[in-house]
Amino acid sequence: MDSMNIDVLRGIIQWLNEGNQASLITVVKTWGSSPRPIGSILGIRQDGAVIGSVSGGCIEDDLVARTLAKSIDRNRPQLVTYGVTREEGQRFGLPCGGTIQLVIEPLQEASNLQQILSAMEQGLIVSRHLDMQTGGVTVQPANYKQILSFDGKVLKSVFGPRWRLLIIGGAQVSHYLAEMALSLDYQVTVCDPREAYLAAWPLHDIPIIKRMPDDVIRDMMPDQHTAIVCLSHDPKLDDMALLEALISDAFYVGAIGSRSNNQKRRERMAMFDISEDEISRLHGPIGLKIGSKTPPEIAISILAEITSIRHGIENNTPHISYKSAQKSNNIKLVAP
């Protein structure tokens, strides 16, 4: 898999292995608006080279200047805050009076970072505990529910794909969606039992599972960090997946298809032991309305909708509830 944090870790590890000095900077707290979220990381080499981001650029410039001036403590971690005053906020490009707090950690060797990188490349989640007094580091297994925490004494950073995406179907849109989701730190699983799609699947880093989708979803036990997207264009496979997905805790469930096809899909769902409220969770037609036509554009629109739902933001998706569809079409459905 690949992600911004993985790129930063790889870059820092290479610097250290080449005999350079480096610092790891982590966003630990923000107030108001801030350019980058908590947990964002940045690496700075002793000559001012940077990888990653903690702001729009001005804070990075100041950190580089501190590094070149050798004013950063090389013996133990330190806590710095930007944007306390209006003048400082304007100087560092922090919008709307935003304030950002960073931990600057001088790195001595790449050992624990390599351990974290190896775990992330295996799709695992780990927590890195940094003692602010001693600079000592321990790495422990973590889970999807853990997030960064900082009490002033110990910084507990979480690395790994804390969000999961299950894609049903291995068609072309799935290729692009899977690749794009990796950059947002999703752990991506693709399921398609059809031989034709298994042979043509091009992504070696994301294996395609040859199992029935309902079995995969049950084994996966979707939680509130899981999104499920049906892209197979095969009603048998998509419906099989949706019957399990809609009764799960997944924060997002969507299926590709036109408005009429999705209404028929909702009607089929109602013939099973599934409630109207559960059917109403289905997003379809899937994706934000951005005029997408090509497979990459469709993938972008899908991932944008998932992102907006994940952040609790209303959007312009054509998603309609099952109850609204019943009312507008004057349809009365009775489950057997």
Residues 6+ apart with CB under 8 A from 118: none
3-state SS, residue 254: strand
pLDDT score of 326:
45
Same domain, 142 and 186: no
Residue 209 lies in a domain: yes
More confident residue, 198 or 270: 270
Q: What is the CATH classification number for the domain harbouring 219? A: 3.40.50.720
Q: Which of 210, 25, 15 is closest to 109 using CA atoms?
A: 15
Same domain, 135 and 174: no
At position 293, the amino acid (one-letter code) is K
Q: Which of 159, 186, 218 is the last residue of a domain?
A: 159
Residue 190, CA distances (Å) to 181, 270, 286 in order: 12, 26, 18
Question: Rg of the chain's alpha carbons, rounded to an integer?
Answer: 23
Residue 251 lies in a domain: yes
3-state SS, residue 56: coil
Same domain, 115 and 172: no
Q: What is the residue-averaged pLDDT of the chain?
A: 85
Same domain, 172 and 154: no
Residue 243 lies in a domain: yes
Same domain, 321 and 214: yes
Same domain, 152 and 171: no
**Number of DSSP helices (H) and strands (E) in the chain, helices first:** 12, 15
- State residue 23 phi and psi, 5-degree precision: -125, 145
Same domain, 180 and 293: yes
Same domain, 246 and 211: yes
pLDDT score of 85:
59
Q: Which of 131, 159, 187 is the last residue of a domain?
A: 159
The domain of 43 spans: 4-159
Confidence band of 48 (pLDDT split at 50, 70, 90) = very high
Confidence band of 129 (pLDDT split at 50, 70, 90) = very high
State the Cα angle at 292 between 291 and 295, rounded to 5°.
Answer: 170
- CA distance linking residue 319 with residue 263, whole number of Å: 11
Kindly give the pairing relationship between strand 226-230 and strand 163-168.
parallel
Distance of CA 288 to the CA centre of its chain: 18
**Sign of the dihedral through C-alpha 234, 235, 236, 239:** positive
Is residue 95 within 8 Å of residue 101, measured between CB atoms? no
User: 20: which 2 tokens?
Assistant: 């350079």
Residue 13 confidence (pLDDT) above 90 = yes
Q: Which of 104, 131, 159 is the last residue of a domain?
A: 159
Residue 30 confidence (pLDDT) above 70 = yes
Residue 336 lies in a domain: no
Residue 129 lies in a domain: yes
Residue 335 lies in a domain: no
Same domain, 31 and 124: yes
Confidence band of 145 (pLDDT split at 50, 70, 90) = confident
More confident residue, 330 or 161: 161
Residues 6+ apart with CB under 8 A from 152: 79, 132
- What digits encode the pLDDT tens for the residues 55-105? 866 788 899 999 999 988 888 999 999 876 555 555 555 555 578 899 999
Residue 217 confidence (pLDDT) above 70 = yes
Residue 333 lies in a domain: no
Same domain, 193 and 174: yes
Same domain, 152 and 184: no
Q: How many domains does the chain have?
A: 2
pLDDT score of 91:
59
- Helix H or strand E encompassing 245: helix 235-245
- CA distance linking residue 161 with residue 163, whole number of Å: 5
Give the pLDDT mean for 280-287.
92
Q: Which of 32, 23, 40 is closest to 83 using CA atoms?
A: 32
Residue 2 confidence (pLDDT) above 60 = no
User: 84: which 2 tokens?
Assistant: 């306390």
Residue 211 confidence (pLDDT) above 60 = yes
Same domain, 18 and 153: yes
Residue 334 lies in a domain: no
